[in-house]
Amino acid sequence: MPLTLATTTPGEPEIFASIQGEGASMGKSCTFVRLSRCNLACVWCDTAYTWRFEGDNRPHRDDETYARTANQVTLSEEETAARIVALGQHRLVITGGEPLLQAPALARMIAHLPETHIEIETNGTVAPTPALDALVHQYNVSPKLAHSGNPAELALPPERLAHWAAEPRAWFKFVVAEPADVDQVVAVQEAHAIAPARIFLMPEGRDSATVRTRARWLAQICSDREFNLSDRLHIHLFGDTRGT
């Protein structure tokens, strides 16, 4: 079964080499593969073209829908792996959308990349299959808080959070828009005994000025609670654009 990917332009899958802009691997060179489809709908999502297709009325602040045929493409597992190898990087970040929705095909694709460090970015609501889990070096788990617009029963299932809290390969990254959002982060941290050193707080923002403004007050919160502060380097370097 092929993988369903997002596109940079119609028909061109979003597979590219860049630097990781966020979280525990921030600044490292890597290849990105962006998959299509998501089981959540964040109102501030900066990749709504991976899920908000025509006919999808889940709320988003841009209130824009996307033509599925122009923004989604399928590739075989072998072709996807070949394009990754051609970019010459030793670290692969699989993002979305929600990548774990395509776990079986991902496992088969990664089997073609035995020398590659595999990171998966996930919203934390979907369990990886055993076959995929055996191939992953790092999980970048980004649970969605109330300000995302997702109901807690969908976005913060306790059994999934407990799984990730017990998973030593998992780092947590929370998107924060207001200081009050940190209260919910702390509630999740305390409920699941997550060490502060495993938690990154990242300012929500799709332009450099917003990210920097929020990072200023977020830095003090991170210092006080011994959390990590994540920037969004790709926003500063390239803006809110695909394939970067």
> Domain limits of the chain?
3-172
**Rounded distance between C-alpha atoms, residue 178 and residue 221, angstroms:** 11
Collapsed DSSP state (helix, strand, coil) of residue 106:
helix
Question: Over the stretch 119-161, which tens digit does the pLDDT of each residue have?
Answer: 999 999 999 999 999 999 999 999 999 999 999 999 999 999 9
How much is the average pLDDT of 212-219? 98
Instruction: Identify the pLDDT of residue 123.
Output: 98
Question: Over the stretch 3-48, which tens digit does the pLDDT of each residue have?
Answer: 999 999 999 999 999 999 999 999 999 999 999 999 999 999 999 9
CATH number of 3-172: 3.20.20
How much is the average pLDDT of 41-56? 97
- Distance from CA of residue 69 to its chain's centroid? 23
**Rounded distance between C-alpha atoms, residue 174 and residue 97, angstroms:** 16
Instruction: Give buried/exposed letters for 89-100 (b at 16+ CB in 10 A, else e).
Output: bebbbbbbbbbb
Asked whether the predicted pLDDT for residue 1 surpasses 80, the reply is no
What is the side-by-side strand order in the sheet with 15-19? 15-19, 29-34, 91-95, 117-122, 138-141, 170-176, 199-203, 228-229
Q: Among positive and negative, which fits the CA dihedral 173, 178, 179, 181?
A: negative
Asked whether the predicted pLDDT for residue 2 surpasses 90, the reply is yes
pTM over 0.95: yes
Asked whether the predicted pLDDT for residue 174 surpasses 90, the reply is yes
Rg value, the chain, Cα: 17
**Rounded distance between C-alpha atoms, residue 77 and residue 97, angstroms:** 18
Question: Over the stretch 203-214, which tens digit does the pLDDT of each residue have?
Answer: 999 999 999 999
